[in-house]
A and B are shown apart, each in its own frame.
Chain A
Amino acid sequence: KQEVTQIPAALSVPEGENLVLNCSFTDSAIYNLQWFRQDPGKGLTSLLLIQSSQREQTSGRLNASLDKSSGRSTLYIAASQPGDSATYLCAVLTDSWGKLQFGAGTQVVVTP
């Protein structure tokens, strides 16, 4: 059974530092990997989606890499801002339609 792990569970950095969030998964047979952002009590906002054939995706200050063979993905957020404070979730797509297996998330606090 696919298991997704995110370490650390929580992270606090000063404004301006780069953020590095890790996600690992046990079964490399995935269709894609998505990174989401969740603000307290709110829904999920999709940040980046990496197809299984891709190595990375970029959007603005965000960059996500995928190493399927080793079962790892990393989300980099450059020059962090207080507005980046949120919980970041990674999820792998385990079938061709839509079953997502989520990690428990990394709670990020960026201090001014």
Chain B
Amino acid sequence: EAQVTQNPRYLITVTGKKLTVTCSQNMNHEYMSWYRQDPGLGLRQIYYSMNVEVTDKGDVPEGYKVSRKEKRNFPLILESPSPNQTSLYFCASSPGRAQFFGPGTRLTVL
């Protein structure tokens, strides 16, 4: 089944403790991206990747890192999480034009 998977789906952590949210797609898409969703603000793009080893900042990249070592995986790294990064995170992949979204990761930083 064609899909985008994210892990974990739920995470509660404390300020400053490094974490990684994984994203994987099995559709051989070149384009992948991360969004965060906050009430009243909609979804905002954090980072995107056009292909392996090609990444760039989206609209709200501060406090996040990404890597794209393989085509199928695009992990989101929070090296020192802060409470303002409490949000719902979505990974997406695209062959161009239409996007496919993962189920979301709800992150709470205390």
| Stretch in contact with the other chain, from A54-62, A68-76, A90-98 | A90-98
| Stretch in contact with the other chain, from B11-19, B40-48, B76-84 | B40-48
Q: B42's contact among A42, A46, A99, A102, by CB below 8 Å, is which? A: A102
CB neighbours (8 Å) of B90 from chain A are: 43-44
CB neighbours (8 Å) of B35 from chain A are: 100, 102
B103 touching A42 by the CB < 8 A rule?
A: yes
CB neighbours (8 Å) of A46 from chain B are: 98-101
Q: In the complex, A98 Cα to B99 Cα: how many Å?
A: 7
Closest to A97 in B: B31
Shortest Cβ distance from residue A77 to the other chain B in the assembled complex, whole angstroms: 20
Q: Does B50 contact A (CB under 8 A)?
A: yes
Q: In the complex, A104 Cα to B48 Cα: how many Å?
A: 20
Q: A97's contact among B50, B101, B104, by CB below 8 Å, is which? A: B50
Whether A42 touches B48, Cβ cut-off 8 Å, given contacts A97-B31, A98-B92, A105-B42, is no
Whether A97 touches B94, Cβ cut-off 8 Å, given contacts A103-B42, A104-B42, A105-B42, is yes
Q: Does A65 contact B (CB under 8 A)?
A: no
Q: Does A28 contact B (CB under 8 A)?
A: no
For chain A residues 14-65, which have a beta carbon within 8 Å of chain B?
A: 31-32, 34, 36, 41-44, 46, 49, 51
Interface size on B, as a range, is 20 to 34
Q: Does A89 contact B (CB under 8 A)?
A: yes
B42 touching A97 by the CB < 8 A rule?
A: no
Closest to B39 in A: A104
Whether A43 touches B50, Cβ cut-off 8 Å, given contacts A31-B97, A89-B43, A100-B45, is no
- Give A contacts to B, CB under 8 Å: 4, 31-32, 34, 36, 41-44, 46, 49, 51, 89, 91, 93, 96-100, 102-105
**24 contacting pairs across A/B (C-beta < 8 A):** A4-B42, A31-B97, A36-B101, A43-B90, A43-B102, A43-B103, A44-B90, A46-B101, A49-B97, A49-B98, A51-B97, A89-B42, A89-B43, A93-B97, A97-B30, A97-B31, A98-B92, A99-B45, A99-B48, A99-B58, A100-B35, A100-B92, A102-B35, A104-B42
